[in-house]
Each structure stands twice: as C-alpha cells, then as structure tokens.
Amino acid sequence: MRNLIVLVLLTIIPCMAFSQADYGSYVGTVKTEWMRGSESERRMVLLEDFVYIDPKGKKWIAPAGSKTDGATIPKVVWTFVGGPYAGQYREAAVIHDVYCDTKSEPYRDVHRIFYYANRAAGVSEKKAKILYGGVMIGGPKWGSKESNCYSCHSTGSTKMEKDNNGQLTAFPPVTEDDVKMLAEFVNSKNPTLEQIDAYIEKVHPASKFGH
C-alpha cells in the first residue's frame, strides 16, 4: 500500500510542476524603496529590473526607476483579495502597474497577462480570475496614441485622463457590488477568461474602450 501511495505521488508531482510552469516565471525579485513626498503613501520606486516571462516566452520588464503603488487595481477589489502589497499578487501588481503606466502594449494584453502573472506567483485560479475581472471592469484602458475615439464606448461616469504624451486613458466606474457579483460568478462557475470577458461586455458595457 505504501509503495502504491509513493507511485501515485511520483505521478502527480511532475504534472503539478508542468501546470505551474504553464503560467510563466519571474526573473529577479522586487526591490523597492518608498518615495518621499509622494501623493500616495504606497508609492515606491524599483531599485532593480524585475521581469515576468509569460507562457509564450515574452518578457514583460519592469525596469529600475519604475513607479508602483498597486493603484491600477481598483480599490474596491481589495475588499475581496486584500491590498496590493498584502498577498501573493504583489509581484504581478508591479508588472501590471508599469505597463499601465507606459501603455506600450494593448490594455487587453496587459490585463490578460496580469492573470497569468498572478498564477505564476502562486495565486489561486479563482482569486486570479477575480483580479483579472476586476481590472477588466474598472482598470485603466487606452487606445492607440493616434486615436482619440473613446467617447463612443464610454459613459458620462467614466473618468478620462491624458498622460504627458497626450494619450487618453479611461477609468470606467466600478463598485463593490460589481466586484461582489463578479466574485459570485467566478466562484460558482469557474469561467474561462473568455467567459469573463463576455460577462463583463454584457453586464458592464461602460468598461468597453477603444477598438
């Protein structure tokens, strides 16, 4: 019986390792220092490069000097998953913050990679999906630098900002009830990311931005 248990464990463990590897990996560790005089009490600056390598091998680099404070994750989501520096998702939050700031990749890709980076950091599947859905509802969204077409996909309650390069970013409204409904949907159905996208398009049309 004991030999049978050992055999089963040897069969399961490699599968678990392979599954975890499917979510990518990190290079380096997050090394920061608090920013003095910052408007946000959580704002920090990276002292060294920090890298996430996604499942397709693409490197998502948070270079030294980048600013991070977890603010790209709507605060109402924290009620359900904890603050940005309190849990396993803090590494993914750093990558997400940097790319939401640079806008060098499409917002849908940045939010999607946030899910995989969370899973690579050890965040549970359903919690990572709630985080993903949360940023897809109320996280920052931007189009191309050349496009100013945003009003056709937003409502009057959507906050709009222009960065120093004149690029528009939308911040759709999100409430605690929105996240509660999302969490109930994820916990009861364990949907795919595509199903979460479809749910958000239907329930939160204000979150749609750009083409």
- The pLDDT confidence band at residue 158, using thresholds 50, 70 and 90, is confident
What's the rounded Cα separation, in Å, for the pair 12 and 53?
A: 25
Please check the confidence at residue 85 and state whether its pLDDT lies above 50.
yes
- Scanning the chain, the segments in alpha helix (DSSP H) are 2-21, 75-81, 90-102, 107-120, 125-138, 176-189, 193-203
Token pair 């959580």 is at which residue?
A: 42
- How many degrees, rounded to 5, is the angle at CA 154 between CA 147 and CA 186? 115
Per-residue pLDDT tens for 124-157?
A: 999 999 999 999 999 999 986 655 554 444 455 6
At 187 the pLDDT is 97
Q: Which two tokens stand for residue 31?
A: 């090394």
Q: Which residues, in sequence order, are bridge partners of residue 68?
A: 44
Span 2-23, pLDDT tens digits:
443 433 333 333 333 334 558 9
User: Is the pLDDT at 209 greater than 70, yes or no?
Assistant: no
Could you read off the pLDDT of 31-59 as tens digits, one per residue? 999 887 756 567 899 999 999 999 999 99
- Mean per-residue pLDDT, 76-92: 81
pLDDT at residue 205 tops 90: no
Which residues, in sequence order, are CB contacts of 9 under 8 Å at separation 6+?
Answer: none
Break the chain into its structural domains and give their ranges.
Answer: 24-207
**Pick from 84, 82, 83, 89: which is nearest to 117 by CA?**
89
CA dihedral 68, 70, 73, 76 (to 10 degrees): -150
